[in-house]
Amino acid sequence: MSTPSSEAAPALRADVEHWTNDAVAELIGERAVLALDREQLVPARLAARAAADDPIALLTRLFALGDTLSVAQVARALPTLGVQGAAASGLIATAGASDDDPVRALLDLRPYETETHRWWIASDRGEAVTDARLEGDHVLGVGGASLTLASITMRSPVGRVLDLGTGSGVQALHASTHAHSVVGTDVSRRALEFAAFNAALAGVTLDLREGSLLDPVAGETFDLVVSNPPFVITPAGAPSFEYRDGGMAGDGIVGSLVSTLGGVLNPGGVAQLLGNWEIRAEGWEARVSEWLDASPVPLDAWVVQRDSLDAAQYAEVWLRDAGVIPERGRVSFDEAYEAYLSDFDRRGVREVGFGMILLRRPASGGGTSGPTLRRLEFLEGPIATPLGPHLVASLAAHDRLVALDSAGLGDAALLETRLTVASDVTREVYGRPLLVDPEHILIRQGGGFGRAVRADTGLAGFVGACDGELTVGQILGALSALGVEHANELLPAIRELVETGMLA
């Protein structure tokens, strides 16, 4: 499989300038857009074919829908780069030079937009387009995990960023919007060639380096490391892919990153990554804590498990993702499924968790004031997109509380503080209709992680009074006067609401 030449980028950029997601949606309509979300291409193909020689329709058909066009149609879609230029730079294959000769794309290319930026991402063509199993060195386009990592990344202005396992370079492009310089690494030379092409198309400079894990950046340090690593657990006997299987046993690649990333972080630097972890009898927190404890550099850590699958479900999901399905050859599916379960059973793995990991090197560099945060929690359900701003605010709130504690002010300072309930927080009251007092009160966060905190009447009353007028101490005093017992014991719960962004 070929990779595109970056020399084609400026001319191609001129041809794709108006090829936006909105333009495609307008062309193919809502039904086809929704079908594309389900990886069904037929409705979009029908709609785009109906648009005849519209350049947006032709670009979409050629590069995103796997349609074969004629030379004349490609000439219309790529007036600046031209058919010859596109063929010479590895974007298309033509069967001849006559107007009617067929042309097909050699890669997938599609618009990718954020609120502030518009890029185009080239990658290998997916299964939905080729209807064939992926090659082992497949270079992935923007997938669900890519979007999750992009959403959770904290986008404060930073100096140096490392995108480890850059693939098509999508995280590196995001990083370029708030970093002074960005290094992208990958074991796959093909992936780096795609990343270079995408960067050239975006007009962004990336420092791209080939190598495994931290090898290409030995001796260097960063303010932010992002990684959507190849975290899929694949036993011997099951198909593996460079883009999703790190080549280490079990969940070794994620463990290795968690234990070593601290060594490339500047003081105050942050690493954000996604991962799978194996869950044995001791629970998921034990597994992740083992990795955190193995880091020679003491780190703050905030790990959120978002989901878990039992060993059999996990095997099914990733075999299906690899295109190994019962209908395509029962024996190989069963054999690969067995390989998964024998591997998991042998190592006592009952479930596999999925989630996000945030590591931070204390600003002191791990010296006098070491890590202050180790938060491991299981939070399912919808979360805010982007989540990065919420993480920034939560860490800042945590740091403010720690600063008060270390100044010896702690609770005394909190009692003097005026808090305001965040605008996305609501109160839900549940109880049987005939009961005067509610049985359950939930304080629910609309944004962030969408947390729901069970509150007694004291805590609910406290939150209800947080309009920024009275201090924490004054509200607790008023609650005591109203007969709420042990109002001062609410302080730990209040701190938690501050750290999680429900009280500001």
Output 67 or 245, the one with its CB closest to ligand SAM.
Answer: 245
User: 166, 150 in Cβ contact below 8 A?
Assistant: no
Contacting ligand SAM (CB under 6 A), which of 4, 66, 90, 230?
Answer: 230
Dump the DSSP string for 384-417: -SS-HHHHHHHHHHHHHHHHHHHTT-HHHHHHT-
**DSSP-assigned letter for residue 70:** E
The strand pair at 118-123 and 452-455 is best described as: unpaired
193 touches ligand SAM by CB under 6 A: no
Q: What's the min distance (Å) between Cβ of 247 and ligand SAM?
A: 6
187 touches ligand SAM by CB under 6 A: yes
Output 257 or 395, the one with its CB closest to ligand SAM.
Answer: 257
Here's the x/- map for ligand SAM, 65-94, by CB under 6 A: it reads as ------------------------------
Q: What's the min distance (Å) between Cβ of 194 and ligand SAM?
A: 9
Which stretch in 166-174, 198-206, 285-293, 476-484 sits in contact with ligand SAM by CB under 6 A? 166-174
Contacting ligand SAM (CB under 6 A), which of 188, 198, 234, 259?
Answer: 188
167 touches ligand SAM by CB under 6 A: yes
Output 67 or 242, the one with its CB closest to ligand SAM.
Answer: 242
Contacting ligand SAM (CB under 6 A), which of 81, 91, 213, 261?
Answer: 213
111 touches ligand SAM by CB under 6 A: no
For ligand SAM, the binding residues in 233-252 under the rule CB under 6 A are: 242-244, 246
259 touches ligand SAM by CB under 6 A: no
337 touches ligand SAM by CB under 6 A: no
Q: How far apart are CA 197 and CA 116, in angstroms?
A: 21
Q: Which of 37, 123, 58, 18 is closest to 45 using CA atoms?
A: 58
236 contact partners, CB below 8 Å, separation of at least 6: 339, 343
- Cα–chain-centroid distance for residue 445? 21
Within a 13 Å sphere around the CA of 458, how many CA atoms are in the beta-carbon half?
Answer: 17
Region of 490 on the Ramachandran plot (φ > 0 left; ψ -120 to 50 alpha; else beta): alpha
The strand pair at 158-164 and 108-113 is best described as: unpaired
Hey, how many other C-beta atoms are within 10 angstroms of the C-beta on 334? 12
Output 193 or 242, the one with its CB closest to ligand SAM.
Answer: 242
Q: Which residues bind ligand SAM (CB under 6 A)?
A: 140, 142, 146, 149, 164-168, 170-171, 185-188, 191, 212-213, 228-230, 242-244, 246
